[in-house]
Amino acid sequence: MAFSPNKSMFSILISNSTLFLYVFFAIITTVVNVSAYMIVHNYIIDNIIISNVVAYTCSITLSFLINKNVVFKSKNGNVFVQLLLYLCVKFISFSVDSGVLVLLNKGLKIDNFIAKLIANASTTISNYVLNN
Asked whether the predicted pLDDT for residue 14 surpasses 70, the reply is: no
36-67 pLDDT tens trace: 999 999 999 999 999 999 999 999 889 888 87
The DSSP result for the chain, as a single string, is: ----TTS-HHHHHHH-HHHHHHHHHHHHHHHHHHHHHHHIIIII---HHHHHHHHHHHHHHHHHHHIIIIIS---SS-HHHHHHHHHHHHHHHHHHHHHHHHIIIIIS---HHHHHHHHHHHHHHHHHHHH-
**Looking at residue 78, what is its pLDDT?**
74
90-99 pLDDT tens trace: 888 899 999 9
